[in-house]
Structure 1
Amino acid sequence: MIRRHALLILALSLLFAAMARDRFDAWVDATELPHLTAQTSIEVLDRNGVLLRAFTVADGRWRLKVTLDAVDPDYIDMLIAYEDKRFRTHAGVDMMAMLRASYQALTRGKIISGGSTLTMQVARLLEDGSTGKWAGKLRQIRLALALERRLSKDEILSLYLNRAPFGGNLEGIRAATRAYFGKDPRRLTPAQAALMVALPQSPEVRRPDRHTDAAQTARARVLARMIGADILTVDAADGAKSEPVPARKHPFPALAPHMSQRALTDAPLNSIHQLTIDATLQGQLETLAKTALRGRGEQMSIAILVADHTTGEILASVGSAAYRADNRLGFVDMTRALRSPGSTLKPLIYGMAFDQGFAHPETLIDDTPTAFGAYVPQNFDGKFRGTLRIRRALQLSLNLPVIKLTEALGPAKLMSSLRRAGMEPVVPGGKPGLAVALGGLGVTLTDMTQLYAALANQGKPQVLRWRKDTNPAQLGRGLISPMAAWHVADILSGLTPPPNAPRNRLAYKTGTSYGHRDAWALGYDGQHVVGVWMGRADGTPVPGAFGGDLAAPVLFEVFSRIKPELTPLRPPPPETLMVSNAQLPLPLQRFRGRNALFERPKDAPSVAFPPDGSSVEVGDGFLVVKVRDGIAPFTWLANGKPFEVATYDRQSLLEIAGPGFVLLSVIDAKGRSARARISLD
């Protein structure tokens, strides 16, 4: 009978225990979890993932997102050994630790050690709850048990790494190591790891930048515990104790501020923005920008843009010398501000003239007083050089020769070429005139750098890109031919460098806008293109400012920071005509202006076949050409290169391989010429 009662009591006890366990499990399972994801700082990264700039979250805190695999494993081991050595095995609450803490508090009358697990600390951080009141502690226990049932140990640990307080407005291990050590937590010394373990317990009392002694004492306590946990040897711990604690915070990176703000505006929902910028080069050029303005007054500003013209990637972008509201208007991104380009469009105009067969670098042209209707331009220095070669006219940046070429081309064609280069020029009044050749329009430094990237890249334009996740954008057909682009580069690389600059083969051009408002320098080698602008952001004149004096030295300084040696310019294409003036066809020996080009005598030669604008199949690589009228002998050229010289036949066979566009020219004995643009299939 007694045995039966005992068995019944045991059965009822087990039943009640099971019911209590089930109710307890239901109580834990019914726990409503708070939001596990917190707002983290928006980050702007460079091309290699290096942090360029970060932004605080809405409440002004630094909270940089970090993953477990991006944190030093030794720090993780030290954290678990110090805070919660049974973290990997308990279910959220360590009963042994809680009993020990309770016993110590009862027997000594004060709290000696805490019983909170890392999971309970995460629960408190998620709800920003109290640790001292029983209701708060009970809530932490319930939430910790629920977290353990729904998350993995690594997920719980990741929550701690992103939420733990480290003093001031620092939250999370990555923000802390950035502020105190100037680096990410991937690699930490034992002293650094120990300090990071100690800080979250009393983040304000132990802040090393305010309470150095308290921080050092707390760190020593952690290091001593690590010896007993067999994580550090005595010698390693002693060495770590001798390492000074950081007495000040490191500033968070603030590189490329204009481009970073542009990234946020462009994609406001992104938390990570990766740019094509190179952080090291960007930092060097921001320092150079400040140096270049010393002694230039409080209103002078500067902008620098560097790109790889083979890929279109922008490698550095300096919008001003300092990102602040000062007399320089530092918040204004001067790489995107409309300014007058001065003489920097001249290389494109010469390249277009080479392409159209109007001129050759050895062609003679007159630099004499000339009126173009009511427009009477002058050279910058008010002097005239008489007759000189096209090459020299571009190197001297003379105004009269380039206006003559622009008149022959037509200002509308120049504007069309600028737009084909991806530029967005703005012309006062909307109708371009000859003055656009001398800077009578508005462009940006980005526009001009993109134009020179096309000149550097064999005349092929492409959009400069600044986001790493965007694909290169092609802009269709070439701006000018590779032959014309090579001639332009060859002329510009013959310019004398500024004083004290290296005597290298950098192709560059300077420019100064009307009224000395803008000083420009743009240049390129075989890989990189650089644009430099200097002036006042409000557009007021800078007396005595010239592109050659102000911007050109900075341009050469920029290239010296990109790499030790320039990348050689491209070799001339096979079709390039490199001869003296006397060896040129008669029409190319001297530029005679628009009327001479377009007024055609009745008996002048004309291309009878193939007709202008036609498409011709060239199956065997030979093209039949015919000339009507004119006086023999005849010379045939294709894209400016002689193919048949002094022939008396009116029909010739030219060995030209397709496909592609070809500009045919025929010249008779009197030097009269005719042209036909055709397409070879």
Structure 2
Amino acid sequence: MKRPHRPLVAVAAVMLATAGLLDTWDAWVARTVLPATLTDTSVEMVDRTGRLMRAFAVEEGRIRLAVPRGGVDPRLTDMLIAYEDKRFRRHNGVDTRAMLRAVGQALWSGRVVSGGSTLTMQVARLLENSGTGSARGKLRQMRVAWALERRFSKDDILHLYLQHAPYGGRIEGVRSATFTWFGKEPHRLTEAEAALLVALPQAPEARRPDRYPQAAQMARNRVLARIGADPTQAPVPRTARALPLHAPHQADALRAADSQTQRFDTTLSLPLQRDLERLARIHASGQARGTSLALMVLDHQSGEVLARIGSPDYSDAGGAPGFVDMTRAKRSPGSTLKPLIYALAFDRGLAHPETVFADRPTRFGSYAPQNFDGVFRGDVTARQALTQSLNIPPVALTDALGPERVMAALRALGAEPKLPGGQAGLAVALGGVGLSLQDLVTVYGHLAASDRTLIAPRAAWQVGDILRGIAPPPGAPAGLAYKTGTSYGHRDAWAIGYDGQHVIGVWMGRPDGTPVPGAFGGAHAAPLLFEAFGRLKPQLAPAPPPPPDTLRLATADLPPNLQRFGPAHGAGTGPALVFPPDGARLGQADAVVKVAGGVLPLTVLVNGQVVAAQVRDRQIDIGQLDLGFSDIAVIDAAGRANRSAVEVRP
């Protein structure tokens, strides 16, 4: 029997041995336990178009902004591969040729000339936070690199590098780097910017542009030269920019309410927010030490908040606790609730803009309010009373409406009022309730939008028409519907205004509630309101036309019950709704109203609409009521009213 040729046996043996080694190597790589590839990234808040407004640090104060797929300029990735790892797309994680070259150069020169590490090996080092100084460490990086290449695509590995690469200090990831060194997102870079970002991770501390600009510039130019581009003498950035910190109180509130979300998308507008923050700091600088301010902008057509400033400075530098969000703090609203009270009264037929009130010393039980200046004006119309911010008429209306009805209206409009004593009294009309700037802006937004949430559009329009008639100071926008307010003891100064599209609210005061002597809404908050509108838009949006059912008459032409508010001399008691009583449940049949007391003739309103007028009978048929809840009001000739809230069931 002929024996096999010895050389063939040797080749076969080598092949078998090689196959065995490959199998062993393959199994070794397969058993590799990879480090975590999903690391925490900074929680972000962005504006309505996705622009970064604030980012929170991760562990140990690091800033690691999430790098979006496709969000990096291809110029950078192409330059990175060309400079760091030309065969990145072709090797399996370890470039054997580059490794052998690095070993040969080290043996020849007696020092390390090139590292031979691929981008995949650098990713392995970054993920494990391991050094490169030992053979054992290098072998571990090679093993992890081979394992990464088996489990991830090349683009995935490149993305991991861009997410974890260090760029000096506590900055990790290319997106954090572009914000720090260039103040922008990484999707559009110059050639010089891209080259600096390629060079920095190799020695992030030794090449930090803010500390070692010459070293950073030389490293950047070496990258440019390596890829065949002309080096530039353009200076590198000398300052590490702070990451955006806009609307920080809003970001704090969102994160406190939801600790799981990584990115909070808001309706805020970054350019407007940034502009108004600068404006707020300017105004605050001229105030007494310890004074803070807050400002909000609402698009009342869409319901979107466009800007929110909780304090002029997110620190204690100005003597006030700037970390306190004063858009949400409950404060006395002063006179800023008066427009709502008039709107409720107009809606329920208790008064009209031309209804006459007696502004004179009046006692409501033990409560005897006075005007801010201590002077009474005598007979005035509701329009004049609101324009001059007199106190007796809105307190009288609150007495007729009932303080709890005012409180219910605030809640229905989205506010969260806080009563200091737990029980609503007539002082609510003059600021005796806790409301935030956010509450007031929300309420005014409903008035401005005339959205039928609670108040008929005609009543909301009538209030807006009065507020637009307040003569603005020189330089202020004409036609703005606005109201100012000052709380007791000069603790809070307010100004809230709106046009056909936007509402802006301003609060000024001390967060601890101590007085600010001499602070008035008109003198201190209103100028900021006017200037904020000027920053928001070049001209005001026009006011809507009056709704068709708006009664636009002089006092003498109004129905008798609307000409003057309050009881006539010798008129006795006001009307009483004998039937239906408040809270009654009725079937869907013709409803009959029975009235006792009051001065004839009577007027009956259902949900603010007149259904019977000039009636001289105390039993009135008002027809069928719609299913659901209805508000029935009866007004006598002296202008006094009573009402019942009923529910109609089938």
TM-score (normalizing by structure 1): 0.87
Structure 1 position 111, deviation (Å): 2.2
| Alignment deviations for residues 426-475 of structure 1 (CA, whole Å, 9 cap, x no partner) | 22321222111111122211111111112122154xxxxxxxxxxxxxxx
1:526/1:568 contact within 8 Å kept: yes
Query: Does 2:349 align with 1:375?
Result: no
Task: Return the letter of the residue paired with 1:385.
Answer: R
Assess if the C-alpha contact under 8 Å between 1:166 and 1:172 holds in 2.
Answer: yes
Q: CA deviation at 1:94?
A: 0.8
The reply to whether residue 506 of structure 1 matches residue 480 of structure 2 is: yes
Which residue number corresponds to residue 60 of structure 1? 61
Q: What is residue 469 of structure 1 aligned with on the other side?
A: none
| Matching residue of 1:496 | 471
Contact 2:592 2:623 in 1 (8 A): no
The answer to whether the 8 A contact 1:309-1:527 is kept is yes
Deviation at 1:294, TM superposition (A): 2.4
Distance in structure 2 (CA, Å) of the matches to 1:117 and 1:573:
73
- 1:611-632 deviations in whole A, cap 9, x for unaligned? x975768xxxxx9999999999
Corresponding residue of 2:244: 253
Deviation at 1:177, TM superposition (A): 1.0
| Superposed displacement of residue 645, structure 1 | 7.9
Per-residue displacement from partner, 1:94-117 (whole Å, max 9, x unpaired)?
111112222222222222222111
Residue 29 of structure 1: how far off its partner (Å): 1.0
Residue identity matched to 2:472: P
Q: 1:676 and 1:370, CA in 2 relative to 1: closer, same or farther beyond 3 A?
A: closer
Q: Which residue of 509, 514, 517 corresponds with 1:543? A: 517
Cα drift, residue 647 of structure 1: 9.8
Count how many residue pairs are aligned between Structure 1 and Structure 2.
Answer: 644
Is 2:449 the counterpart of 1:457? Answer: yes
Q: In structure 2, the residue corresponding to 1:455 is in which secondary structure?
A: helix
**Cα deviation 1:216-254 (Å, max 9, x = unaligned):** 111111111212xxxxxxxxx33x613321111111111
Matched-pair contact (CA < 8 Å) for 1:605–1:667: no
State the AA in 1 paired with 2:250: M
Change (3 A) 1:441 1:624: closer
Aligned to 2:256: 265
Q: Is residue 408–residue 593 contact of structure 1 (8 Å, CA) maintained in 2?
A: no
Q: Are 2:303 and 1:304 equivalent residues in the alignment?
A: no
Deviation at 1:646, TM superposition (A): 7.9
The amino acid across from 1:290 in the alignment is R
- Assess if the C-alpha contact under 8 Å between 2:99 and 2:117 holds in 1: yes
Query: SS in structure 1 opposite 2:60?
Result: coil
CA distance in 2, matches of 1:10, 1:575: 103
Question: CA deviation digits over 1:53-90, x for unaligned, max 9?
Answer: 11221112221110341111111111001111110010
Separation (CA, whole Å) in 1 of partners of 2:376 and 2:330: 31
- 1:486 matches 2:461: yes
Partner in structure 2 of residue 102 of structure 1 = 103
Q: Could you say what secondary structure the match of 2:227 adopts? A: helix
Instruction: Decide whether aligned partners of structure 1 residues 355 and 147 sit closer, same or farther in structure 2, where only a CA change above 3 A counts.
Output: same
Question: What do the CA deviations read for 1:15-42 (whole angstroms, capped 9, x no partner)?
Answer: 1111111111111111111111222222
Assess if the C-alpha contact under 8 Å between 1:408 and 1:594 holds in 2: no
The 2-side partners of 1:423 and 1:312 are apart by 14
With 115-124 and 448-457 compared, the bigger mean Cα shift is at 448-457
3-state SS in 2 of match to 1:53: strand
Distance 2:215 2:165 in 1: 19
**CA pair 613-13 structure 1, distance change in 2 beyond 3 A:** closer
Equivalent in the alignment of 1:435: 427
Greater CA drift, 1-10 or 569-578: 1-10
After the TM superposition, which residues 450-599 of structure 1 pair with which residues of structure 2 at under 5 Å, given as runs? Answer: 450-458=442-450, 460=452, 478-503=453-478, 505-593=479-567, 599=573
Normalising to structure 2: TM-score of the pair?
0.91
Specify the SS of the correspondent of 1:343. helix
Q: Which residue of 2 aligns with 1:411?
A: 403
Alignment root-mean-square deviation, CA: 3.3
Amino acid at match of 1:392: Q
* Contact 1:301 1:537 (8 Å CA) reproduced: yes
Q: How has the CA–CA distance of structure 1 residues 506 and 42 changed in structure 2, closer, same or farther, with 3 Å as cutoff?
A: same
Contact kept, 8 Å, 2:565 with 2:639, in 1: the verdict is no
Distance 2:81 2:298 in 1: 48
Secondary structure of the structure 1 residue equivalent to 2:142 = helix
Give the conservation status (yes or no) of the 8 Å contact 1:606–1:673. no
Q: Please identify, of 142-151 and 107-116, the stretch whose mean Cα deviation from structure 2 is larger.
A: 107-116
Task: Note if contact 2:106-2:112 (Cα within 8 Å) is conserved in structure 1.
Answer: yes
Letter of the 2:518 counterpart: G
The answer to whether the aligner puts 1:241 opposite 2:232 as a matched pair is: yes
Which stretch of the first structure deviates more once superposed, 659-668 or 581-590?
A: 659-668
1:194 maps to 195
Alpha-carbon contact 1:605-1:631 (below 8 Å) kept: no
Which amino acid is the alignment partner of residue 53 of structure 1?
R
Name the CA shift for 1:670/1:54 in 2 (closer, same or farther; >3 Å): closer
- 1:338 has 2:313 as partner: no
| 1:422 to 2:414 alignment | yes
Secondary structure class of the residue paired with 2:170: coil
Instruction: Please say if residues 605 and 672 of structure 1, whose CA atoms lie closer than 8 Å, have aligned partners that are also in contact.
Output: no
Structure 2 contact 348–605 (Cα < 8 Å) conserved: no
1:627 and 1:666 in contact (8 A); partners too:
no
Q: 1:358 to 1:632 in 2, by over 3 A?
A: closer
Query: What residue in structure 2 maps to residue 470 of structure 1?
Result: none
Partner of 1:133: 134
| Equivalent AA in structure 2 for residue 178 of structure 1 | F
In structure 2, relative to structure 1, the CA distance for the partners of 1:441 and 1:593 (3 Å cut) is farther
- Report deviation, 1:600: 5.5
Give the secondary-structure state (helix, strand or coil) at the position aligned to 1:198: helix
> Residues of 1 paired with 2:404 and 2:224: CA distance?
76
Residue 171 of structure 1 deviates from its aligned partner by 1.3
What SS does the corresponding residue of 2:535 show, helix, strand or coil? helix
Match 1:316 to one of 290, 307, 316: 307
**1:669 Cα deviation after fit:** 9.9
Secondary structure (helix, strand or coil) at the match of 2:298 reads: strand
Q: Secondary structure at the match of 1:70?
A: coil
Report the alpha carbon displacement of residue 144 of structure 1 after superposing the two structures with TM. 0.9
Quote the Cα distance in structure 1 between the aligned partners of 2:123 and 2:16. Answer: 34
Secondary structure of 1:303 counterpart: strand
Partner SS, residue 6 of structure 2: helix
Give deviations 1:583-637, integer Å, cap 9, x for gaps: 1111111112499999368xx99999xxx975768xxxxx999999999999887
- Specify the SS of the correspondent of 1:188: coil
2:588–2:627 contact (8 Å) kept in structure 1: no
Give the secondary-structure state (helix, strand or coil) at the position aligned to 1:136.
helix
CA contact (8 A) 2:565 2:638 kept: no
Partner of 2:381: 389
Gaps of 5+ in 2: none
Assess if the C-alpha contact under 8 Å between 1:498 and 1:552 holds in 2.
no
Taking the aligned partners of 1:172 and 1:665, their CA distance within structure 2 comes to 66
Of the three residues 249, 261, 282, the one matched with 1:291 is 282
| Aligned-partner Cα distance in 1 for 2:138–2:565 | 92
Distance 2:59 2:255 in 1: 15
**What amino acid is aligned across from residue 408 of structure 1 in structure 2?**
A
Q: Distance in 1 between matches of 2:603 and 2:345?
A: 21
Q: Distance in 2 between matches of 1:53 and 1:562?
A: 22
Query: What whole-Å deviation, never above 9, does each CA across 1:334-367 have from its counterpart, x for those lacking one?
Result: 1111211111111111111112211111111100
CA contact (8 A) 1:577 1:641 kept: no
Provide the rounded CA distance (Å) in 2 between the counterparts of 1:542 and 1:58: 42
Letter in 1 for 2:184: K
1:463 matched to which residue of 2? none
The letter of the residue matching 2:46 is L
**CA separation in 1, counterparts of 2:244 and 2:639?**
66
Seen in structure 2, the aligned counterparts of structure 1 residues 600 and 541 have a Cα distance that, compared at 3 Å, is closer
